[in-house]
Amino acid sequence: MKPASIPAAARWSLQGRVLHWVMAALLVGLVALGLTMTRLHADLGTTFALYQAHKSYGLVALVLVAWRIVWRLRTSPPPPQAMRRAEWLMSRLVHVLFYGAMAALPLTGWLMASASPLRLPTRPFGLFTMPDLVAPDAGLFMVLRSIHMALAYGLVALLVLHVAGALKHRLIDRDDTLGRMGF
């Protein structure tokens, strides 16, 4: 069934769908930018600009995930599709872990930028300076960097499972799961 022909009550609210797709694009872009900027070995000016962009859009993700958590706690999901219990549990687990990763990634990023011994200010889009959450500390920076990196790889692993699930519903079960998040 095309998303447009799915009754509104069977879909996530417009707010939920917009948040889902805006954040999906933002998160994939941030992972790509993070991996690129740390491996590019470009000149200092370019590297600085890429890091600033990563930190700025990363903080947008922090605002959006806070908004999305509030929305999610106040919303009732559309009635579930018929599926096996194990499958339902698996999808719930992936969603909960997604929320954990979506919140922890920008928080560890902000903590890491604060702990950096380089002491570079975090200025989202050059507008204002973010307060540092901890004092500069090279050891702490390295720990947070490893956690931030592991979370990013975890997010990608969850995305692979999530997309595989969506495709299974579409191609094998041929049900409306994809349409629940569609426009």
Residues near ligand HEM, by CB under 6 A: 16, 20, 24, 27-28, 30-31, 34-35, 38, 51, 54-55, 58-59, 61-62, 72, 95, 98-99, 102, 105-106, 109-110, 112-113, 122, 145, 148-149, 152, 159, 162-163, 166, 177-178, 180-181
- For ligand HEM, the closer of residues 140 and 145 by Cβ is 145
Q: Residue 171 corresponds to which tokens in the numbers above?
A: 């191609």
**Please, what is the minimum distance in Å from the beta carbon of residue 134 to ligand HEM?**
13
**Please, what is the minimum distance in Å from the beta carbon of residue 107 to ligand HEM?**
8
Alpha helices in 75-131 (DSSP H): 85-115
**Please, what is the minimum distance in Å from the beta carbon of residue 158 to ligand HEM?**
7
**Please, what is the minimum distance in Å from the beta carbon of residue 118 to ligand HEM?**
9
Can you give the three-state secondary structure of the chain, one letter per residue? CCHHHCCHHHCCCHHHHHHHHHHHHHHHHHHHHHHHHCCCCCCHHHHHHHHHHHHHHHHHHHHHHHHHHHHHHHCCCCCCCCCCHHHHHHHHHHHHHHHHHHHHHHHHHHHHHHHCCCCCCCCHHHCCCCCCCCCCCHHHHHHHHHHHHHHHHHHHHHHHHHHHHHHHHHHHHCCCCHHHHCC
Distance CA 135, CA 83 (A): 50
**Please, what is the minimum distance in Å from the beta carbon of residue 128 to ligand HEM?**
13
**Please, what is the minimum distance in Å from the beta carbon of residue 29 to ligand HEM?**
9
3-state class (DSSP) for residue 11: coil
